[in-house]
Amino acid sequence: MTPENARLHQLRGGLAPVEVGARGIESLARNADCTRLRAIVITGLTPSKVIEHVLGELPDAMSPFAMTLTQAFEKRLLSNAGGSLLTVYREKGHLDPQDAKITNVADLAPRDTQVDRIRRERETRRLIELKLRGDPAAPNLILKPRLTLTIVGVTHAIELDYLVASDREPFYRVGVIKSYADRVGKTNRAHIRTACREASVGTLALQQLLTSLGQPVELAGDRIDMVLKAPGSFTPRLYAAQRAESELASLTRALAAAPSDLDQIEQMLPAGASLAQPEVIEALPNHYCSTCKEHCALWQHCRAQAQAQGNAIILGDQAAEQLAAAGSLNRAMDLLNGSGRPPDNRAEVVLAAELRAASTLLDRIANG
């Protein structure tokens, strides 16, 4: 075991790591201030795994109907030699008739064993190197590529939906397939951002690969492709070369902080403690916010903790920001009601005055 792996193994306290995947890694960027989430993901666990194996509760479930639909849509696009996916790219003019080189990495090593997983990573790398060398045999579509992302010295596998590049393009773009309904301007923006973020994890992995091969990272670009589903049918809708600059930037920042995060986490924990202990999870600082519910299975725990601590975030992000000078909800209540100790500083004086003025206005409005 490498020293880095040994370190993470120690922190996990014997729990086996899981493939956090693109979804797990992108959640780091969603809540960059949450040490609890960062500790969990960096050590190779997921909030769902912690819920189940550490806290002993039932983890979140995905509806089997949704899962069936998602799998069916993906299968529709990637089966038959990726024909449907190829057709959608051709129809939009992103691939020419001679851009018909398709490889399905999973065909080569389909099993879920370590040997096959490593084979898929190696084959993906080999195919990408073909493209970098300008080899005419380089595929235009690589289905189910498996890349790796190194975080604190260990590699995390990222299995993507596909990579795409026409013969005239210098390098691949990451593509994601999502069964979200595409309603054009009315499509749920949160879904689109999620898809962009997940794809951006793939782009980051490509960047790392380019660096390791001595190639410029700019080749990976900052664009991703997204395939959504037309409402009520399996007709695919392609959104090619979507900008993902901000998603990439936030992910890069989040991952750059990982090594110092790991040191910090180790220093925080008492000797012999690990993330396999519920009390250790509870003790790690968190940053509960209104979006945690969308991506983290621990949200209810963190909310209960915030309620018990009187954290202003339980009233919303706006409240947390506006009441920052008070430090806590209890203190803010004291300032509002003119009870407890007098304001400690100028900021509290101003906040107290503003809160009371707002309270007077509220009485006027609500009871006027």
Partner 1 sequence: MQYRQIMQYQCTEPDNVSASIPKHGIAWKSVEDYTGIMSHTLSIAEKLTRNAEKLQQAYAGLAKALGVGDAVGRERAQAKIAEYNAEYESLAEQLRFAELEAREIATPRGRKPAKPLRELALDALDDLGVPAPPALIADLTAALTGIRPSPSRFASLRRDEENAARRNVAARPAWIVPAINAAELTAIPRLLCSSAWSLERRIVGSRSMRTDHLRIAESLARRLKQLREAGAPESKNIERLLFPIARAIPGATETGVLVDTDKVTEAARAELSVLEEADRAERGEACARFATSSPHVRLWGRPVLIDTAAAARAIK
Partner 2 sequence: MADLLNVVARMRALEQGQAVRIVSQRQVLIQPGAQILTMLSMAGEDTSVHAVAVGRLGVAPRIKVVADPRRRDDQYELLRWLLPHFETYYAQCRAEGTFPQIWVSSDGALGHLDTLADRLRFTDDQQVQRLGELWTYAGERSPIAGQQALISATSALTAHFATGQQETEDEHLGALLTWIEPPPGRDIFAAVAMAEQQPMGAKTDPRFDADELQPAVALFNKARKDNDVRAQDFHAGLIQQMMEGVIRPIYTATQKGMAILSDPRWQHNAALVSLGEQEASNFARFMEARDEGHRLPYHDSAKAAAFKIVARERTVDNVEAAFVRHDHAARERGAESGTVLRGTLVDRQKVRLAPRIFETRMVLSTAQDSLHLRAGDELWHLDDPKLCIRVTEVERRGPISWVSAIVDKGKRAALQLDIGNVLDLGPENPDWGATVREFAQMHTRLASAPWTHAEVVPPAMPSIRPRPNDLLAAVERLV
11 contributes a contact to partner 1 by CB under 8 A: no
Q: Which stretch binds partner 2 (CB under 8 A): 28-36, 133-141, 338-346, 358-366?
A: 358-366
Token couple for 175: 């593509």
Question: How many Cα atoms are found within 13 Å in the side-chain-facing hemisphere of 111?
Answer: 4
Nearest approach in angstroms of CB 350 to partner 1 is 43
Nearest approach in angstroms of CB 341 to partner 1 is 36
Closer by beta carbon to partner 2, 4 or else 74: 74
- Using CB under 8 A as the binding rule, the residues of this chain from 51 to 110 that contact partner 2 are 58, 60-70
Three-class DSSP category at 174: strand
Nearest approach in angstroms of CB 210 to partner 2 is 36
Q: Binding residues for partner 2, how many (CB under 8 A)?
A: 51
Nearest approach in angstroms of CB 320 to partner 2 is 9
Closer by beta carbon to partner 1, 304 or else 324: 304
175 contributes a contact to partner 1 by CB under 8 A: no
Q: Which stretch binds partner 2 (CB under 8 A): 82-90, 120-128, 257-265, 350-358?
A: 350-358
What would the x/- binding string for partner 1 be over residues 30 to 49, using CB under 8 A? --------------x-----
When binding is defined by CB under 8 A, the residue of 75, 92, 253, 293 that contacts partner 2 is: 293
124 contributes a contact to partner 1 by CB under 8 A: no
When binding is defined by CB under 8 A, the residue of 184, 189, 272, 279 that contacts partner 2 is: 184
367 contributes a contact to partner 2 by CB under 8 A: yes
5 contributes a contact to partner 1 by CB under 8 A: yes
In contact, 343 and 316? CB cutoff 8 Å:
no
Three-state SS for the chain is: CCHHHHHHHHHHCCCCCCCCHHHHHHHHHHCCCCHHHHHHHHCCCCHHHHHHHHCCCCCCCCCHHHHHHHHHHHHHHHHHHHHHHHHHHHHCCCCCCCCCCEEEHHHHCCCCCHHHHHHHHHHHHHHHHHHHHCCCCCCCEEECCEEEEEECCEEEEEECCEEECCCCCCCCEEEEEEEEECCHHHCCHHHHHHHHHHHHHHHHHHHHHHHHCCCCHHHHCCEEEEEEECCCCCCEEEEEEEECHHHHHHHHHHHHCHHHHHHHHHHHCCCCCCCCCHHHHHHCCCCCCCCHHHHCCCHHHHHHHHHHHCCHHHHCHHHHHHCHHHCCHHHHHHHHHCCCCCCCCHHHHHHHHHHHHHHHHHHHHHHC
Widest pairwise Cα distance in the chain = 77
Closer by beta carbon to partner 2, 341 or else 364: 364
What would the x/- binding string for partner 2 be over residues 18 to 57, using CB under 8 A? ----------------------------------------
60 contributes a contact to partner 1 by CB under 8 A: no
113 contacts which partner out of partner 1, partner 2, none, CB within 5 to 8 A by kind?
none
Site residues for partner 1 per CB under 8 A: 1-2, 5, 8-9, 17, 44, 55-58, 76, 79-84, 86-87, 90-91, 97-98, 100-104, 106-110, 114-115, 117-119, 121-122, 126, 137-139, 148, 150, 154-157
